[in-house]
Amino acid sequence: MAGPFGATSTTGEVLAGVDLSGKRILVTGVSAGLGVETARALAAHGAQVVGAARDLDKAKGATEVVRADAKNGGGLELIQLDLADLASVRAAADALLADGRKFDVIIANAGVMACPFGKTKDGFETQFGTNHLGHFVFVNRIASLIKPGGRLVNLASAGHRFSDVNLEDPNFDHTEYTEFGAYGRSKTANILFAVEFDRRHKAQGIRAVAVHPGGIQTELGRHMTPAIVQAMIEDINRNTPPGAEPFSFKSIPQGAATSVWAAVIAPADEVGGLYCEDCHVATPNDEPGFRGGIRAYALDPQSAKALWAKSEEMVGETFN
């Protein structure tokens, strides 16, 4: 069943009674946090998980729990993938294409958040280059491996509310860099990528969805000081509707719940091309604050097409 689930639902609750035996699912970013829990929950219900990580030694240690919890034929294999290096991205994709085995789901989970200004190996602003362009090239290169009826799940964020994409200056060459402004651009790009990927592939029965996991304390926030975190919580609570509960962090199993729900539980036609949070489709919300909802610019189909074209230009590849 697709629900009812909500903000406090866990991966265990979402997948209760679900048999994923025979499913093959790719998860990026399995060296910590949400990626490990997502892989663990899927393998525990019988899925064969391919986990991608930049640091394979770290991932091997972090995913011991995935192997320990795997049941009903579930398992895990690891591949090396550095999303901030397109040579690594292309090599990983080429290896999967050469292997030829199909996927039921790709979960683009890996990312960075609110880091100081920097550039990827290919010269792109770190957050846009890693969170969006790395996945854009990787997913499009292996799109032929997604089975009809399969799905792409892009990990986005309520952080998309910080900023729309800026296709005139994606690398902050002419605009002032801010950590969260750059993060917002990259997360909006994750959503728009799902919108356009869904449009291009739904005729083949392949759907794409973007998800917000919620506020979770993981390694993703390594660049955030306690003072920054506290200031953000206070800002969120200032914009909390009357009568609503104050903000609280989710546990990691709660944070990964929306990913697995969108991947294998929610009806494809109900989530395809959309943005989900707390195990449901988010409603439009252009009001200030970060307590739920999707800004209109993040689902705009013309913006999604323009981002796709700009991304192809930036990486020097065309994907049909």
Altogether, the residues listed in the chain come to a count of 320
Question: Is residue 291 within 8 Å of 239, Cβ to Cβ?
Answer: yes
d(CA 174, CA 50): 39
- Residue 177 known to be catalytic: yes
What 3 state SS string does 74-126 have?
A: CEEEEEECCCCCHHHHHHHHHHHHHHCCCEEEEEECCCCCCCCCCECCCCCEH
Q: Identify the active-site residue in 177, 183, 275, 297.
A: 177
Tokens at 90, concatenated = 């292309």
The neighbour count for residue 101, using CB atoms within 10 Å, is 9
User: Residue 234 is encoded by which pair of tokens?
Assistant: 């206070």
Tell the burial category of 49 from Cβ atoms under 10 Å away from its Cβ (0-12, 13-18, 19+).
buried
Residues designated as active site:
177
